[in-house]
């Protein structure tokens, strides 16, 4: 078959959740938005639920509805599901029918949700990131009414938690405390990076995301994915010949070039052209020529006649963050871009 194989270790995800949970005295949730960062929320969330997670976060109500179905089928119908985007126009039936909890981001969302009935909600506050959440004045005007209702959580989000010494971390912490001290509801400030900042940032609930899936800033994470790409063809390229679009790769000596079946349509970003490598075991094989939509050239001269059927682009020798460095991006983008054409194989969990 000409599609790549994406191996996803659910046991590693569970182990990473336990490790992050062990760093705090708070309750530990799991962020499974964007289909668990591209790895399949329908498989990841039930595995985490079996490990003890009972609270999950998604980006939009439609994700929450799909997650509710998967968790119910797996035997966890009462798991708590929060929706970061809050109560958007047209969300009322989804939120109600699938028992989803919107994180209300504005006074308008608060009024919209209140008018829909006595339904549970959370509050998201803006403590400096200027992305989502009520600002201090809006929250002050609504706080008494909000706290009388079925509020399940008050949260905010750190902008610079992956930079432990950044001055905005203590600034946002101080703002969060000023806005929420004295509340009777659970509070949450930390995703993966915040967990690593220490106890002052943990509050009642943490919500790791990228750390579950093997990415930085959780340097102790167990790798979760291996991506193996099929070799379609191997050829000899002579001096004076070139490889790929634009004739951009011209070897200075005869080279053995393999063509593998994957490209930017599969989430392997074109910017990694000329920088990344694939691996045969621990042996790196540099890309040769441009990353195109469905294919990539690879210099396998160092392998001689022993070219395997598949070459790995995500593996122990090159994790998501190392590959991201070659593409000038971050591990989040690598994971969430992994395409639908890969055969997904799950183990553990």
Please say whether the beta carbons of 231 and 310 come within 8 A: yes
Torsion of CA 190, 192, 197, 198, to 10 degrees: 70
Contacts 24+ apart (CB under 8 A), 11-15: 11/347, 11/348, 11/349, 12/214, 12/222, 12/223, 12/224, 12/348, 13/39, 13/44, 13/47, 13/48, 13/212, 13/213, 13/224, 13/349, 14/47, 14/48, 14/50, 14/51, 14/348, 14/349, 15/222
Beta strands in 294-347 (DSSP E): 296-299, 310-314, 343-347
Q: What angle do CA 326, 329, 331 make, to 5 degrees?
A: 95
Which residues are bridge partners to 279 per DSSP?
284, 312
Indicate which residues carry an active-site annotation. Answer: 33, 245
171 φ, ψ to 5°?
-65, -45
Q: What is the C-alpha to C-alpha distance for residues 32 and 265, in angstroms, rounded to an integer?
A: 23
């Amino acid at each position: 078959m000409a599609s790549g194989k994406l191996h996803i270790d659910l046991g590693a995800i569970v182990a990473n959740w336990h490790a992050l949970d062990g760093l705090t005295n708070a309750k530990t949730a799991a962020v499974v938005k964007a289909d668990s960062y591209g790895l399949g929320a329908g498989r990841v969330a039930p595995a985490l639920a079996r490990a003890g997670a009972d609270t999950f976060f998604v980006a939009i109500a439609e994700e929450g509805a799909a997650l509710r179905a998967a968790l119910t089928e797996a035997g966890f119908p009462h798991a708590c599901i929060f929706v970061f985007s809050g109560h958007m126009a047209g969300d009322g039936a989804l939120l109600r029918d699938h028992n989803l909890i919107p994180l209300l981001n504005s006074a308008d969302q608060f009024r919209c949700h209140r008018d829909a009935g006595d339904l549970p909600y959370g509050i998201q506050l803006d403590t400096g990131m200027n992305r989502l959440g009520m600002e201090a004045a809006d929250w002050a005007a609504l706080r008494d009414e909000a706290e009388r209702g079925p509020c399940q959580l008050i949260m905010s989000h750190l902008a610079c938690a992956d930079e432990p010494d950044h001055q905005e971390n203590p600034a946002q912490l101080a703002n969060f405390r000023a806005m929420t001290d004295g509340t009777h509801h659970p509070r949450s400030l930390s995703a993966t990076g915040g967990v690593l900042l220490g106890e002052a940032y943990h509050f009642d609930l943490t919500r790791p995301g990228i750390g579950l899936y093997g990415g930085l800033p959780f340097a102790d994470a167990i790798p979760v994915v291996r991506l193996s790409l099929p070799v379609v063809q191997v050829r000899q390229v002579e001096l004076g010949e070139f490889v790929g679009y634009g004739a951009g790769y011209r070897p200075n000596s005869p080279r053995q070039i393999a063509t593998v079946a994957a490209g930017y349509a599969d989430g392997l970003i074109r910017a990694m052209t000329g920088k990344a490598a694939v691996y045969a075991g621990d042996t790196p094989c540099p890309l040769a020529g441009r990353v195109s939509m469905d294919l990539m050239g690879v210099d396998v001269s160092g392998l001689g006649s022993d070219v395997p059927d598949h070459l790995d682009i995500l593996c122990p020798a090159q994790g998501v963050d190392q590959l991201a460095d070659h593409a000038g991006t971050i591990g989040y983008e690598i994971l969430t871009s992994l395409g639908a054409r890969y055969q997904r194989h799950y183990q553990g969990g």
